[in-house]
Structure 1
Amino acid sequence: MDQKTPLQTHPEASPKPNKKSFVTTFMEATTLRTPSFKEDTYFVSQLKSSEKKALQELKDKLMGSEASDGSMWGVPLLGNDEKADVILLKFLRARDFRVPDAFAMLLKCLAWRKEFGADGVVEEDLGFKELEGVVAYMHGFDKQGHPVCYNAYGVFKDRDMYERIFGDDEKLKKFLRWRVQVLERGINALHFKPGGINSIIQVTDLKDMPKRELRVASNQILSLFQDNYPEMVARKVFINVPWYFSALYSIFSPFLTQRTKSKFVISKEGNVAETLYKFIRPEDVPVQYGGLSRLSDLQNGPPKPASEFTVKGGEKVNIQIEGIEADATITWDIVVGGWDLEYSAEFVPNAEGSYIIQVDKPRKVMPSEEAIHNSFTPREAGKMVFSVDNSASRRRKVAAYRYIVRKSASI
């Protein structure tokens, strides 16, 4: 069944306050300091003559070194193919095409990967089952097809959890190994091909993050990734940014290049879904961040596409799904970023005199709630109407829904 265009009412929205918070001011200042990052396509034909020369010089240096047979992610660095060029260009760009610096970085990375055993870490069982899908995990793709890695360290506000994972140097080393494992899994999904998907998206949730306790671990992760995974991140999105982000930024800043900082997107608390929807379709955004995707969904193939819509402040939106036959089952998912508004669902029969059926009674949906998933099988033909009432708020909200209608099996 084809989806109908939702019918929406558009009452005039109430004016929004103009007062800026400290975080908003800081975010704007950060944006001014860090211009938007433009990802490279890795076509050698599009390089400047000086960049082509640098690429050849790097190859010549590598050929004359003990690392001439080196490889990364299964790609021989002197394989004279496009994949090798993509990897070498990552090191060159990380060092602004300064060949000696890029070569030194490359040699150190090859040595680290050998010592660390990075090529085999993906297959290891490191025993962090309680952290999988919670602290760091790959989940879906962005609108351009980049794999997305989510990071959330709020669970470590629990002192027992913190001691269990970071209690001593050996535990910290094991955690860092697990964190590299997560990243390597994401990198295995990359193309290493000009014009292809050659980097990932990092989303870092700062909610409840114990900044002081995690300072050592955070610095080591940043240093390790920046030294050994150049240009592997196309964009780094910080969500649930607290008021003390400026202090965190000052801690991390010395470890970051200007090119890395230009990839930052900063979203304050309560603005998560709106930020993520700019880069990631709602069916790929985890439910805890205002999307429709659950970890269990990833095992069932590509997600069913969702339709996005906006609920303005002071507005009530009605989504109508028409043409539902008798005994057909409609199943739907609907979510509003940050909720904090009233939702209801009802079935309206086509026949005159039939009663409207309240499928989901009107209720206030709290900000902490995830996407609603429900189904209904009517006994007569009609339409479903989903109502999202934001009339009590001045704040604009992003939202998404999807549905599928299955006709009853013929007897």
Structure 2
Amino acid sequence: MSGFVGNLSSDQEKMLAEVRKMLAENTDPVIQEEISKLDDSMILRFLRARKWVLNDAYKMLLDALVFRATFQEIGVEKITEESVENELKTGKSFFYGWDNGGRPVCIIRTRKHDSSQRDIQEAHRYCVYFMEKGKALLPPGIETCTLIFDMTSFSTKNMDYELVKFIVDMFQKYYPESLNKCLIVNAPWIFTGIWNIIKHWMDPITVGKVNFVKSKQLIEYIPAEHLLASYGGASTWKYTYKGITVED
């Protein structure tokens, strides 16, 4: 059995029910609202992430619920577009199109990030804002997104270890089982040493989802009509923010 809704073994059904029971008995006022919003699909993410070890999955889930309720003292769902406007107007990342499996695709253009110019708190909000946006885009039956890290023209000023560590932790601790593949496009040679640092923050399963590719290879993962022309696709779509086009 896959461990997804509608495809559970009897043991997996029992474990899901046990987590539901534990949540029902939880009286922590900080996370009661978040508990009320949980569906089986979300609980199963944490069970799969912890390989069906009940107590490990439950602790991971509680930590994620606390994160959602208390992030930057406002909570994840109260992040507004206005609070991440400086990041949004750069065009450094956006969702566009669907991969071959019908998953939303998020494109991150690293050359548009300057670690000396960003406000780290806003950058953290921006990352969570996009995670929530990705969740909202998931079609029925789809639970993961595909990331494209476009490293064309990447330089050391674009590298931001503090922010990358936050992104890795966010995926692994608070949004498990959300990543299909991470396609790192056109990585320059200077990224080799950086990658050797980053991959040690990631569990082996996550590392296995990372593929280094060239622009021309993206067509193997994303249909031409959903792939931007700059990557060899057929789409001429451009990112705009408040009516202003942000150039590639």
The normalised TM-score by structure 1 is 0.52
Structure 2 counterpart of 1:206, one-letter code: M
Instruction: Give yes or no for the alignment of 1:131 onto 2:131.
Output: no
Q: Secondary structure at the match of 2:94?
A: strand
- 1:186 matched to which residue of 2? 134
Segments of 5+ residues of structure 2 without an aligned counterpart are 241-247
- 1:343 matched to which residue of 2? none
- 2:215 matched to which residue of 1? 272
- 1:163 matched to which residue of 2? 116
Distance 2:99 2:50 in 1: 27
Q: Secondary structure at the match of 1:66?
A: coil
Point out the structure with max Rg over C-alpha: 1
- 2:14 matched to which residue of 1? 53
Deviation by residue 1:324-377 (Cα, 9 ceiling, x = unmatched): xxxxxxxxxxxxxxxxxxxxxxxxxxxxxxxxxxxxxxxxxxxxxx9xxxxxxx
- Residues matched between the structures, number: 233
Instruction: Give yes or no for the alignment of 1:103 onto 2:58.
Output: yes
Question: 5 Å matches for 1:333-348?
Answer: none
- 1:71 matched to which residue of 2? 34
Instruction: Give yes or no for the alignment of 1:289 onto 2:231.
Output: yes
- 2:244 matched to which residue of 1? none
Q: Secondary structure at the match of 1:127?
A: helix
Distance 1:48 1:65 in 2: 26
Distance 1:209 1:219 in 2: 18
Instruction: Give yes or no for the alignment of 1:143 onto 2:100.
Output: yes
Distance 2:123 2:184 in 1: 21
- 2:170 matched to which residue of 1? 224
Q: Secondary structure at the match of 1:126?
A: helix
Offset at residue 179 of structure 1 (A): 2.1
Question: 5 Å matches for 1:104-119?
Answer: 104-116=59-71, 117-119=75-77
Distance 1:219 1:211 in 2: 16
Offset at residue 210 of structure 1 (A): 3.6
Aligned residues of 1:122 and 1:185 also touching (Cα < 8 A) = no
- 2:49 matched to which residue of 1? 94
Deviation by residue 1:227-264 (Cα, 9 ceiling, x = unmatched): 11111111111111223444233212222122212222
Aligned residues of 2:148 and 2:182 also touching (Cα < 8 A) = yes
Distance 1:41 1:282 in 2: 32
Segments of 5+ residues of structure 1 without an aligned counterpart are 1-39, 78-83, 166-170, 299-369, 371-411
Q: How large is the RMSD of aligned CA atoms in angstroms?
A: 2.6
Instruction: Give yes or no for the alignment of 1:204 onto 2:146.
Output: no
Aligned residues of 1:70 and 1:110 also touching (Cα < 8 A) = no
Q: Secondary structure at the match of 2:148?
A: strand
Distance 1:263 1:106 in 2: 22
Deviation by residue 1:104-162 (Cα, 9 ceiling, x = unmatched): 11111111111122113254442224322xx1111111122111001121234xxxx44
Structure with greater proportional helix content: 2
Question: 5 Å matches for 1:18-37?
Answer: none
Offset at residue 41 of structure 1 (A): 7.2
- 1:313 matched to which residue of 2? none
- 1:353 matched to which residue of 2? none
Q: Secondary structure at the match of 1:143?
A: coil
Distance 1:122 1:232 in 2: 22
Distance 2:206 2:164 in 1: 16
Distance 1:209 1:66 in 2: 48
The normalised TM-score by structure 2 is 0.83
Aligned residues of 2:3 and 2:12 also touching (Cα < 8 A) = no
Aligned residues of 2:90 and 2:112 also touching (Cα < 8 A) = no
Aligned residues of 1:113 and 1:119 also touching (Cα < 8 A) = yes
Offset at residue 174 of structure 1 (A): 0.8
Aligned residues of 1:122 and 1:182 also touching (Cα < 8 A) = no
Structure with greater proportional strand content: 1
Question: 5 Å matches for 1:243-258?
Answer: 243-258=189-204
Aligned residues of 1:211 and 1:248 also touching (Cα < 8 A) = no
Aligned residues of 2:149 and 2:182 also touching (Cα < 8 A) = yes
Distance 2:46 2:33 in 1: 14
Structure 2 counterpart of 1:149, one-letter code: C
Distance 2:27 2:156 in 1: 42
Q: Secondary structure at the match of 1:218?
A: helix
Q: Secondary structure at the match of 2:153?
A: coil
- 2:109 matched to which residue of 1? 152
Decide whether aligned partners of structure 1 residues 257 and 102 sit closer, same or farther in structure 2, where only a CA change above 3 A counts.
Answer: same
